[in-house]
Amino acid sequence: MPPRRPSLFTGRAKSRNASPSNRNSIQKRRLGEDEPAAHTLRACERRGSIREGREGEREMDAFYSASSAYGAAASGWGYDSLKNFRQISPAVQSHLKLVYLTLCVALAASAVGAYLHIALNIGGMLTMLGCVGSIAWLFAVPVYEERKRFGLLLTAALLEGTSIGPLIKVAVDFDPSILVTAFVGTAIAFGCFTCAAIVAKRREYLYLGGLLSSGLSILLWLQLAASIFGHGTSSFMFEVYFGLLIFLGYMVYDTQEIIERAHHGDMDYIKHALTLFTDFVAVLVRILVVMVSTWDISCSLSSTHTSPRSD
């Protein structure tokens, strides 16, 4: 007869029939054999929980970074966006530096023209016509004649300064601080709106061109109607404030248009400086008018409230 194979049931029966001491030793042996597996299982569980915690932290960090980036992109402003000039190529950046340097020279020439009017009283309609003629001549000269065009720009700026010289003289006669305050306010507004146009996305404010052109045409029609039918103080101040709003918008629009034209190869820095010079002078004139009128009203009110002395 072949030998019988030991079955599992016989082993279990033997373990059941064993004494209590033998059973405890068997259980301890089994527990001792299972302890390394239990430790390994616990270590794997701990590693899995640590990995899950790290992955959760990474997901939260990614979520917060994405939400902050989306918020900055939606608002268009942020510390990173203020330093981000990657959308403007180095060639366009150098072109903008040349434009603003030329603008500063034109403003200096305009200041000389205003001083000449205060000293010699030469400003008027002739200087205004000379300024318009110089600008027309500048546009007629080819682009490669830079020296001639630059001289025409300085001539136009000088004649523009003499043309607004009467207004500047009135402001200086009232209070010299009016002129300083108006110039500083115009420079701050110009710097703020220019930085907003440079930092913003390309072509973001170019849609303002149609609105600003419509507003400028309305302003011209209002001035034409006022020259024919006359206007009061309220309508005059409305024209001043409305024109101030329009030319502040033109600061943003013209800056982005200059950047876009430079990206497409138009590097005519003299023409671009003339555009910004026109915006600057238009804003300066309107701020001067507002400040002079406010000073005049305050002086008239103070004179009416003061009573003459009785001897």
- The predicted-structure confidence for 167-202, as pLDDT tens digits, reads as follows 999 999 888 889 999 999 999 999 998 888 888 776
Pair 136, 280 in one domain: yes
Pair 234, 149 in one domain: yes
Pair 233, 185 in one domain: yes
Inside any domain, residue 52: yes
As for how many domains the chain has, the answer is 2
Inside any domain, residue 309: no
Those residues with Cβ within 8 angstroms of residue 232's Cβ, 6 or more apart along the chain or in another chain: none
CA nearest to 110, candidates 161, 68, 169: 161
Last residue of a domain, one of 49, 65, 81: 65
**Residue 158: pLDDT band by 50, 70, 90 thresholds?**
very high
Inside any domain, residue 86: no
Pair 44, 113 in one domain: no
Pair 38, 174 in one domain: no
Counting Cα atoms < 13 Å in the Cβ hemisphere of 147 gives 0
Start-to-end CA distance of the chain, whole Å, equals 157
Inside any domain, residue 258: yes
Pair 111, 214 in one domain: yes
**Residue 86: pLDDT band by 50, 70, 90 thresholds?**
low
- CA 137 and chain centroid, separation: 34
Phi/psi at 36 (5° precision): -60, -40
Inside any domain, residue 284: yes
**Residue 22: pLDDT band by 50, 70, 90 thresholds?**
low
Question: Residue 274: what pLDDT?
Answer: 95
How many CB atoms are closer than 10 A to CB 297? 11
Inside any domain, residue 76: no
- Whether the pLDDT of residue 149 is over 60: the answer is yes
Residue type, 267: M
CA nearest to 277, candidates 148, 126, 150: 150
Mean pLDDT of 43-50: 56
Inside any domain, residue 82: no
Exposed / middle / buried, residue 279 (Cβ in 10 Å: 0-12, 13-18, 19+): buried
Q: Which domain holds residue 24?
A: 9-65
